[in-house]
Amino acid sequence: MRKKVLIPIIMLISLMTFTMSCAPAPEEKPKGAVTVLGVWGGDELTNFQEAVFPFTDETGIGMAFEGTRDLAAVLTTRVEAGNPPDLAILPNPGQMYELAEDGNLIDISKFMDMDKLNTNYAKAWLDLASYDGTLYGIFYKVANKSLIWYNPTAFADGGYNIPTTWDELIALSDKIVSDGKTPWAIGFESGAASGWPATDWIEDIMLRTAGPDVYDKWVSHEIPWTDPAVKTAWETFGEIVGKEDYQYGGTTGTLTSFFGDAPASLFTDPPGAYMHRQASFITGFFPEGVEAVTDYDFFPFPPIDPAYGTPVLGGADLIVMFNDTPEARELMKYLASAQPQEIWASAGGFISPSKEVNLDSYPDELTKKMADMVVKAEVFRFDASDLMPAAVGAGSFWSGTLDYVGGEDLDTILGDIEASSVEAYK
């Protein structure tokens, strides 16, 4: 029987450590605990630990996990003090680029099996985990945001088909309106963060109308907010939120509905609305008792310009390395393999970008479908607002979407966001 030994280590915040009593002889394999800094707690931390247990059983190398809700600040302090963790799990690549630029990260291509990584991960994932052509990390846990949720029973009763293009999506919306019903359940209210769900709409559309290269320039402010490509994305967004009869409760309903409450109208009898665009996490807000596949399902946010296909917008956690030790190398290699990812996938709440992970590992058909979208996506891009300076990404962009839905002039809105960007990107 495996015996777990918890090793207390005093650090700044909560710290979880573990190793195994059945470790091999020191002369045979490297020993010691690899320190890992991240935001995971609760079920996420438990599942991560379960995924690492086989590695510790096999190598005798333990893992000391330090959890913090203020990862950026704690990591910056540790790096400046010359005491970084061996590994850190970052919520997006933004801080990775800063750390790599300052020379604080290890080039993992020096010891990883690059042929295997190139086989198991789409080029987009390796590019996103690289800075200036050097690979510094491995993406591990993905959120898929390019999803439109619907009630299959309500769709069948209405005689509605799944749209595969933007034009079909608009045609379906018109059909539902002509039937005297409301196509969309939308909610952009989120307290001080109101507006963020609308930015996800625009980002998904931008990828499909302008393509990933222009999207990247937009994120890094290499093109202004007044660029025609940006304006086109907003105007396309307006094809949905600019029509009162498309939205459950009209414009007022969209602006005042809490984002987590908005999808509830899909499950009323008769349905208050038929479609809801939101990320994979939204199922946690669905009413109790509704069941996947029968009561809810999803289809991909459809392509708009065929030239740009069906990219995936989302977020993902990224594992990077600060200290080049034999133990840290071994843990990085293990985490990039299928075994730990399949262990977590089977527990739920986890989607891997690795093609090596067996889709049968996922606990249900919907999660398997979401994972299949991620690994097959030719283009994956991070949530743009999360990568922009906070004054824009969590400021003028959020508020600008609410102003636009409220009917204010688009050129004025984009001009205001551009003005804030000029200052924020200095």
pLDDT score of 337: 96
Summarize pLDDT for 177-197 with one digit per residue, the tens: 999 999 999 999 999 999 999
For residues 328 and 34, give the distance between their C-alpha atoms in angstroms, rounded to a whole number.
Answer: 6
Note whether 393 and 94 are within 8 A (CB). Answer: no
Q: Calculate mean pLDDT across residues 394-402.
A: 96
Summarize pLDDT for 97-152 with one digit per residue, the tens: 889 999 999 999 999 999 999 999 988 889 989 999 999 999 989 989 999 999 99
pLDDT score of 338: 96
Q: Mean pLDDT, the chain, as a whole number?
A: 91
Binned at pLDDT 50, 70 and 90, residue 31 comes out as low
Q: Which residue has the higher pLDDT, 100 or 281?
A: 100
The CB density around residue 335, as the number of other CB atoms within 10 Å, is 20
The CB density around residue 234, as the number of other CB atoms within 10 Å, is 21
Give the percent of the chain with pLDDT over 90: 79
Q: Which residue has the higher pLDDT, 324 or 24?
A: 324
Binned at pLDDT 50, 70 and 90, residue 372 comes out as very high
Q: Calculate mean pLDDT across residues 4-28.
A: 36
Summarize pLDDT for 197-239 with one digit per residue, the tens: 999 999 999 999 999 999 999 999 999 999 999 999 999 999 9
50-53 long-range CB contacts below 8 Å, 24 or more apart? 50/343, 50/344, 50/347, 51/339, 51/340, 51/341, 51/343, 51/344, 52/331, 52/334, 52/335, 52/340, 53/2, 53/4, 53/18, 53/20
